[in-house]
Amino acid sequence: MKFNTKAIHGGQEHDPAYGAVMPPIYQTSTYAQSTPGGHKGFEYSRTHNPTRRALEKSFASIENGQYGLAFASGMAAIDAIIKTLKPGDEVISTNDLYGGTYRLFTKVFEKFGVKFKFTGMGDSATVESLITDNTKLIWVETPTNPMMNIIDIKAISDLAHRHDILLAVDNTFATPYLQRPLDLGADIVMHSATKYLGGHSDVIMGAIVVNDEKLAEQLYFIQNASGAVCGPNDSFLTLRGIKTLAVRMERHCDNAKAVARFLEQQDKIERVYWPGFEYHPNHEVAKAQMSDFGGMLSFVTKGNDYKEAIRIVERLKIFTLAESLGGVESLAGHPASMTHASIPKDEREKSGVVDSLIRLSVGIEDHEDLIADLKQAIG
Ligand SMILES: *Cc1c(COP(=O)(O)O)cnc(C)c1O
């Protein structure tokens, strides 16, 4: 099956009870048993729920993986992955990463003795120099948030496997429509399905997909043991979102392209970060591992003027100033004071998240209106 067909039918069966074409919302915590242990495959909804299971199969299908797991949020999914480790284990992570991930790693898991090393991953030799006998996991986000750096998944996966290390990829920005990390050698792919997979800014949801049966068992065990599962209603909404992922992504990509080219020509804009530009340092890698460049981009104002950046985001009318991304509506964010405020300033600036950086999640409106909005805001 090709992608569009999988997005709509992957892992989905009509409801066995009444033939409902859409998966019913099984809003139940428990399931009747005819005799102790005599049930139809479902006992308790923390462990399994039919609506959630339909979503988990869909996640696996669109990522070309064997096993899918759904969580209460992207953070809960990351939490479950790190819980496969033990004290003394080390993780090497992208330095330019989602602020919440950085916070979970450094403020929660370091306390339990897991060590995290942060680095740029443009060059695998730098990553290799940080590997020790205790390194168990490499954590990659690509495109990175918010600098839109591209990391070569295949190169990092070859390196990881030479050292018997697992590679996890946060595929939230690219989505499986544009990039499939398992096909490129990653062991674990993870999503904040809150973003493009859900696609309508109406649900908080996390996803993990893996191919290895043992790893899947470990993760299902943690999912049930820790219990950060999503509810059936949110599962239904995410399933509905996934059905239109392909058409939405095409429009997101086209609109982002138009917006990036417009911003690039503005005198008051110093620089636009978008992997589709030929001069983007990782443009060739992006072209090779992604089928298009996505709906996200960032830019900085001339002179890195903090006040000017704030003025621009406040004046936007169609772009809503808000955290998050990946919905049908366009959003603008100011990472230094919003999504990345939990990363110390010097750490933040090392990876380029300066005070005037503005991040855009370009929606699927008419790009002429989006450009007009930016034009009036930039002035
Ligand atoms: C939003 C986001 C997360 C966290 O996901 P939640 O669903 O908000 O818990 C993780 N990684 C990336 C890249 C994100 O954008």
Domains of the chain: 3-242 (3.40.640.10), 246-378 (3.90.1150.10)
One pLDDT digit (tens) per residue for the chain, 379 residues: 999 999 999 988 898 889 999 999 999 999 999 999 999 999 999 999 999 999 999 999 999 999 999 999 999 999 999 999 999 999 999 988 888 999 999 999 999 999 999 999 988 999 999 999 999 999 999 999 899 999 999 999 999 999 999 999 999 999 999 999 999 999 999 999 999 999 999 999 999 999 999 999 999 999 999 999 999 999 999 999 999 999 999 999 999 999 999 999 999 999 999 999 999 999 999 999 999 999 999 999 999 988 999 999 999 999 999 989 999 999 999 998 888 887 788 878 888 899 999 999 999 999 999 999 999 999 9
Any ligand 1 atom below 6 A from CB of 93: no
220-224, Cβ contacts within 8 angstroms, sequence gap of 24 or more = 220/67, 220/69, 222/80, 222/83, 222/84, 223/69, 223/71, 223/80, 224/46, 224/47
Q: Please work out whether the CB of residue 171 comes within 6 Å of at least one atom of ligand 1.
A: no
CA of 34 from ligand 1 middle (Å) equals: 41
170 is catalytic: yes
Q: Whose CA is nearest to atom 8 of ligand 1?
A: 74
Residue 246 dihedral angles phi and psi, to the nearest 5°: -65, -50
Given the residues 26, 98, 102, 177, the one annotated as active site? 98
Rounded-to-integer distance, Cα 323 and Cα 98, Å: 12
Nearest alpha carbon to residue 363 among 234, 229, 201: 201
Residue among 339, 337, 297 nearest 143 (CA): 297
What's the CA-to-centroid distance between 75 and ligand 1, angstroms?
A: 6
Q: Under a CB-based contact definition with an 8 Å cutoff, are residues 77 and 214 in contact?
A: no
| Spatial CB neighbours of 177, under 8 Å, sequence gap ≥ 6 | 3, 7, 62, 245, 246, 249, 291
Query: Is 206 close to ligand 1, i.e. is its CB under 6 Å away?
Result: yes
CA 227 – CA 44 distance, rounded (Å): 11
According to DSSP, the residues that pair with 90 across neighbouring strands are 115, 135
Q: Is the minimum distance from the CB of 192 to ligand 1 under 6 angstroms?
A: yes
Residue 202 bears catalytic tag: no
CB 274 within 8 A of CB 297: yes
Q: What is the pTM of this model?
A: 0.96
Q: How far apart are CA 132 and CA 292, in angstroms?
A: 35
* Greatest distance between any 2 Cα atoms in the chain: 74
Let me know: does 299 contact 283? Beta carbons within 8 Å.
no
- What value does the CA radius of gyration of the chain take, rounded to a whole number of Å? 21
57 is catalytic: no
Q: Is the minimum distance from the CB of 144 to ligand 1 under 6 angstroms?
A: no
